[in-house]
Amino acid sequence: MKKFGLLIVSTLLVLSSCNSSIDVYKQAFEREEMASLQSNWEAIMFSSYDRNSGNDDGFNGTYSKLRIENGNSVLAEVEGAGYVSRIWFTHSEHKKDGLLNGQNEHIRIFIDDKTTPAIDIPLEDVFSGKVAGFPEGLVGESLGGKYCYVPMPFSNYCRVEVEGDGVRFYQINVQKYTGEKEVIAYKPEKHEQLHQLLKIEGDKWLTEFENIAEVSESFKLSINNNGSAEHVINKPNAQIEAFSVKADKAYHKDFLKSRIKLFWDDQSEPAVDVPVNMFFGIVDDTTSTSSYFAGRNQDLFYNRFPMPFSKKATIRFETEGQALDLEIKLKLSNQPKKEWGYFTAFYYNDNAEVKAPKDGYLLLDEKGTGKYVGTFLKTEATTHDAFGTTQLPIWLEGDEIFTCDGEMRIHGTGSEDYFNCAWYSVPGRLNNAGCFPLHGFPKFDMAEMGYASAYRWHLTDPVPFTNSIQVTIEKGPTNNIAAHYESLAFYYLSHKN
């Protein structure tokens, strides 16, 4: 990893200009900097969602473009600085593979130039992992969805368009910069140097979570029946960079049913107070998650979200029933130099309650300054047909909605789309489980239980907020489908609040 690190640094030096500028690639990829707040950034999304609150989120192409220009479909357009952080598409038809009209149409991305595209390649190629600048790991196809997390920075203007008018379902996320520094824009002439950096990052996304052996501190906790045990780390200006726990295989089920609480500095109430399985992104003892930020690697449960603190960190486990012996391993590093926030989690379980259509199921409602970085969601059908067979998971038609500082900035096109997948219960698409670096469905069982669990980590596309954030997700097309939801939202909240 040292060789890779030197190559990244040297590449960034070539791409950067001075301290008064912002290198998007460094900001987007450095996991250790994830706790840094982004007060001069806003996250927005362009998508094909139904503006009339229905479910025509691309099926008829009604809302699938901003406009037609010179015979092409303009999908996103931004004045000012920022970067494209995510591109998602899916097949235009239910059971027929292919994007747009299936004629190998190009995607064109205009960066600081309204007439000449900086990127002009077939849309299908963006997600193939075979094109320079779009390496495997950062791009791919997953259970019916096609995703791209290659940052595309611009300093004053960006427009994304596709050839023709065949676009149906799409999402394009953009991080808008509102500060006074210069954002270093993508330069086609630096493409080869950039490709080396991106390929290294893609390889890390695919494999780095497998190597969590580096440890700064380790300790053991013995917890009695219906008891608790805690450990305090007294270390100034530090952060937990990686957190892993090993429990006896015979007690994995009991461990996942226990609770974890994390206190930062002098907090009287925990910033994290959640079921252990949710904290590690694990559905149950029979199902594993293998992702960049959380999951299980053989017998080791891990969480790799950075967790900074100023003076101390208190880690507490509580059991309900079975006594447990745990071995905890931590990788510690220095606190971020930039303004940072406490790692925080919000757990919610609605007990199959159906809310008013405009509200949706609540993922997070928080006041203060911070940054949203991840979702883990478990859903289960509560309705069956006359023969007792689980119905199709139509609750996954629900859209996610992010409202930051009183303004709706992200409106999705369907729950499975938010998790980078598509076309649930269609063979060859979202019809089985699958795990990927930043997203996945660790469990998808519609044959008997009508059960689905999914995660999405916002590494390159976090959602900053200055005063408040509310995140909801509908249950079904108009939020009227009965289903049981359980969720955990990961975010950072300013330690100054």
Taking only the tens of pLDDT, the chain with its 497 residues reads 344 443 444 444 344 445 678 889 988 998 878 999 998 999 999 999 999 988 889 999 999 999 999 999 999 999 999 999 999 999 999 889 999 999 999 999 999 999 999 999 999 999 999 999 999 999 999 999 999 999 999 999 999 999 999 999 999 999 999 999 999 999 988 888 899 989 999 999 998 776 666 788 999 999 999 999 999 999 999 999 999 999 998 899 999 999 999 999 999 999 999 999 999 999 988 888 889 999 998 889 999 999 999 999 999 999 988 899 999 999 999 988 889 999 999 999 886 455 544 668 999 999 999 999 999 999 988 765 554 555 678 889 999 999 999 999 999 999 999 999 999 999 999 999 999 999 999 999 887 778 999 999 999 999 999 999 999 999 988 888 888 899 999 999 998 76
Alpha-carbon distance of 161 to 315, in angstroms, equals 49
Residues 295 and 281 sit within 8 Å (Cβ to Cβ): yes
Kindly write down the DSSP assignment for every residue of 347-411, as one continuous string.
Answer: EEE-TT----TTT-EEEEEEESSEEEEEEEEEEEE--B-TTSPBPP-GGGGPPEEEEETTEEEEE
Q: Closest by alpha carbon to 83, among 111, 116, 120, 104?
A: 111
Which residues, other chains included, contact 64 with Cβ-Cβ below 8 Å and sequence gap of 6+?
A: 48, 58, 73, 75, 167, 168, 169, 170
SS3 content of the chain, % helix, strand, coil (to 5): 15, 45, 40
Q: Residue 299: what pLDDT?
A: 84
Count of Cβ atoms closer than 10 Å to residue 430 Cβ: 27
Q: Which amino acid is at 493?
A: L
Q: What architecture is the 2-33+64-210 domain classified under in CATH?
A: Sandwich (2.60)
User: Domain-by-domain residue ranges, the chain?
Assistant: 2-33+64-210, 217-494
With 0-12 / 13-18 / 19 or more C-beta atoms within 10 angstroms meaning exposed / middle / buried, residue 76 is buried
Phi, psi of 31 (to 5 degrees): -60, -35
Q: Residue 231: what pLDDT?
A: 97
For the domain bounded by 217-494, which CATH number is listed?
Answer: 2.60.120.1390
Report the chain's C-alpha Rg in angstroms. Answer: 22
Q: Residue 27: what pLDDT?
A: 85
Alpha-carbon distance of 274 to 440, in angstroms, equals 21
Q: Please, what is the angle between helix 191-207 and helix 2-15, to 10°?
A: 150
Q: Residue 145: what pLDDT?
A: 97
